[in-house]
Structure 1
């Protein structure tokens, strides 16, 4: 009987200890925070970073500026001269952050040619031009010599292609028409030293959602459909290896990859009307974000950082496999596109009222470009 009383007292003490310990942990101990979701509508956001500390502002003396790309201390861009009332950007320019000088590297001639994509590394500068006829071509500049040559013009007319430079190779998604008029596509590679073109993968599905290739830290990502299932494909440009990851829905696109995470838009059917933004761990398939979205296109990776402007302009940092919201990006940035460069950097054009695009005041003034150095954000 005495033993039973003693046992009862011990059990009661253990229960009380467990209760008070759990209460104390719930009130005072930090718990592991979940990934912060991407807002579906504008809301108040408390910034954890003073973005102005990490911004470099540049003024460029042109009527139009587009596709800025930062490589080291050089900001490359395409532009149209002041006095031009037609929005064809036929100039390839460079701004030196050290000397603060602007130079014209190359000027496209021979008709209304518009430069629509641009990327660079320490050795090469590549851009895509499109003529009024819709014909496109890649041009390669060797930065040491300044020599320029056309390296590819076989893409389907009016298809704007996103070039990705990695080492001595240029990667892009090639669109061609078969003899029967149907469209076929493939992930293509051009060896810049020899000019030889090869195919990394043929695509079964060729649509707007997977028409662009994206690169981050030496990895490429694209999407395709195999046997009624959508897949993400991550390609290592150093090893040539490809790993595939199954999507939840029959169609997927607008894919990005960074630090083991995949960002993509997924769709219920070929109409592409019902769409979800999905951010998940590639290795485990665990979803961090899985939400309805109005616009699936506006994301960008830069190393450990992910920016989105699909609902409001926000910057996240990837820490321990989770998304940490750093804050809302400055309103002076233009968010039609997020541009990039080598390493942890994002580049923005200035915000503007679309109604003033062709006003005399707009054409006459210099254009602002903002460089956000993410590598300095702790």
Structure 2
């Protein structure tokens, strides 16, 4: 759950039609190829990576997890190439360590070893949060988009609220947990709500108000440090970015690039709305929370809460309206065709949870599902 983009991201060009830089963080599980259980070999795998790629990997709370991080990109072709290189290299090294690298949102079979890596911060987290810090591993996808003005970035987070449940549904990829179907498309989303810092982003008027709230939460003891602010969209503590961290890690690179394109376009659209004086709606927090629960439960296979109207609608209607809203930004960056093709593919295949369930229905074997997921993870 760390945030580790390697250098600052910036906005360039006309602020009314920005060309935004972007970086992507993906978390993966290392699974036993026979049983599907988590195996604690992350440091062994990281150490064996080529130096350049090792510098783009990060330690995580579970020794069965790896985080892989792109550099700063402006072109989605570059994003894709980096994601492929990172996934394939880590997958090859994982195999030599007797594990499989798998893009899946929650621990599918079990995690016998829940010890934390060495280091005072990890022990502080366990001391502060107790058994919550020792839950089985979960894996997300975090997208950083460059917005260097912090007051503007706060306003962007306000504007993103309406669409974050839609993005959450699109990335749903964790229906199985500890050997059973949870009935949820994203069990990761449910599991993470046990952490006190994980929540929908509050509505703020200024960066000063944002910072004062973070300070109050630190002084209350609910947060260990600023890095444990796990709001679904947040201002990076280290870089001039808006970080969207609502999604499960995607099954394959094509989905990851699609979601990255849509998030960047959503941020660009928000910036344009702010420049033009269009305010973000002020939403009831309980309804926002309910919308995220519904997205975690149903993914793209059912209905989602339309936060503009306050009632449920078919998920794909909201996806289509999200696309329509951000399409001018996609056109401006040359990403429109990529997203049109990606959404057609997603509509045909279903979200990651639907794909996993389809595989399981066909085989009756969760390890067989994970074998296919490992293949999808490393596919270029």
Q: TM-score, normalised by structure 1?
A: 0.29
- Higher strand fraction: Structure 1 or Structure 2? 1
More helix by share: 2
For normalisation by structure 2, the TM-score amounts to: 0.29
Instruction: Considering Cα pairs closer than 8 Å and 6+ residues apart, tell me whether 1 or 2 has the greater RCO.
Output: 2
